[in-house]
Amino acid sequence: MMKFEDFWYVVAESRNLKPGKVLARQILGQWLAIFRDQHGMAIALEDRCVHRHSRLSCGLIKQGNLHCPYHGWIYDHRGQVIGVPAEDQQFKPRENLRTKCYPTMEQEGFIYVCLGEPIQPPFALPQYGKKGWQRIRLIHRFANNVTNCVENFIDIPHTASVHPGIFRTAQRQAIKMIVDRHQGQVKAEYYNENNNLGWWGKFLNSQGNEISHTDRFIMPNVTSVEYKFSSQRHLFITSQSVPITEQSTLVYTDVAFNYGMWNFFAIPLVWWTAKRIIAQDLKILAIQQEVIAKYGTNFNHTPADTIHIFVESIRTAIAKGEDPRQLPDKTVEVTFYV
Ligand code: FES
Ligand SMILES: [Fe+2]
């Protein structure tokens, strides 16, 4: 039985989990208290004291142990109660006196938590730490679920209407797309894109050559958009959509770019453009969620939505407890217009 809990999710940026500090987080509706133990290892405990249910995330860290804010029970890195102030020296640890402890790992500046049995490692960010690459990271809370966020991040047809000018302008240009579902992943490759890239078009693609553009979805919650222009312009936008509740998703967006000699100069421009684009998507996704809350989902599709249909097939399989890697491989070619 596969479930959404069996994957790694970002709970914090490494730099924000300082020793001696506790963070309150929520993943898939589960409340977590996150802190570092004496060795600097990230610890994730259920955010509920087993004594009288105060929130551990409101407590204090002393020598890498977490002290409940109410009666001061002390929890170690395993979630085991190792001290009760009211018992002083009389206290004898009991095996079952513990709160749930979840596996964590730290990778590429993120702390990940898994609420179940991890079936695959966290997605490795493209070009992370590679020479010649700049990166920026943005974090936003979307008022919608993971499926709809993911679909938005790899959806060309919305760009002309939601991001007019910045990203694309409607030109009724035919774009060919080859979409492929394989092993819990979806890959879409686009052809005949060349000049419709808004403000950045001149800089990114001054020669007007054909652009190499690939969108990817990696189960259960990662999208990666790759643009390759000439030899000196290469860009990845990776979004990790972390399920907080059914209507709330925390999205970590990592933009990695290699613009050659323009790398440093481009940082504020990339940041500002990403901010503008995300602000527009935040709005449209909040509107969509309001309608879904009232009317439910009874979506209709055209062939341009093939990528979304594949994403939905994968996420629906997990929701039903099935392994989407068992779904048959499928490749579809579609032409649509932007
Ligand atoms: S509720 Fe946590 S110590 Fe009492
Ligand atoms: Fe968008």
Domain ranges of the chain: 4-114, 134-337
Does residue 68 line the site of ligand 1, with CB under 6 A? yes
Cα-based distances in Å from 221 to 230, 252, 328: 30, 11, 20
Mean pLDDT, range 65-85, rounded to an integer: 98
For residue 202, the model assigns a pLDDT of: 63
Right CATH for 4-114 from 3.40.50.2300, 2.102.10.10, 2.30.110.10, 1.20.950.20: 2.102.10.10
Residue with CA at minimum distance from ligand 1 atom 1: 52
What pLDDT, in 10s, does the model give residues 318-328? 999 999 999 99
**From 45, 48, 51, 60, mutation site for ligand 1 pocket: most ligand atoms within 8 A of C-beta:** 51
Q: Which residue has the higher pLDDT, 210 or 245?
A: 245
Q: List, as one string, the DSSP characters of 176-195.
A: EEEEEEETTEEEEEEES--S
The fold adopted by the segment(s) 134-337 is Naphthalene 1,2-dioxygenase Alpha Subunit; Chain A, domain 1 (3.90.380)
pLDDT reported for residue 242: 98
Start-to-end C-alpha separation, the chain: 41
Are 123 and 218 in contact, with CB atoms under 8 Å apart? Answer: yes
Ligand 1 site-directed mutation target among 71, 87, 97, 99, most atoms within 8 Å of CB: 71
CB-based burial label for 26 (10 Å; 0-12, 13-18, 19+): middle
Instruction: Say yes or no: CB of residue 73 within 6 Å of ligand 1.
Output: yes
Within 8 A by CB and 6+ apart from 290, the residues are none
Check pocket membership of 71 for ligand 1, CB cut-off 6 A: yes
Per-residue pLDDT of 116-151, as tens digits, reads 999 999 999 999 999 999 999 999 999 999 999 999
The domains spanning 4-114 and 134-337 adopt the same CATH topology: no
At residue 56, φ and ψ (nearest 5 deg) are -65, -30
Which residue among 22, 45, 46, 54 is best mutated to probe the pocket of ligand 1, counting the most ligand atoms within 8 A of its Cβ? 54
Helix, coil or strand: residue 3: coil
- Which element (helix H / strand E) includes 110? strand 110-114
Average pLDDT of 105-113?
97
- Is 190 a residue whose pLDDT tops 90? yes
Write out the residues surrounding ion ligand 2, Cβ under 5 A: 281
Binned at pLDDT 50, 70 and 90, residue 292 comes out as very high
- Who's near 321: CB < 8 A, 6+ residues apart? 1, 2, 3
Nearest to 237 by CA among 122, 133, 135: 135
Task: Tell me if residue 319 falls in helix, strand or coil.
Answer: helix
Mean pLDDT of the chain: 94
Per-residue pLDDT tens over the stretch 158-186: 998 999 876 666 678 888 999 999 999 99
pLDDT tier, 230 (very low <50, low <70, confident <90, very high otherwise): confident
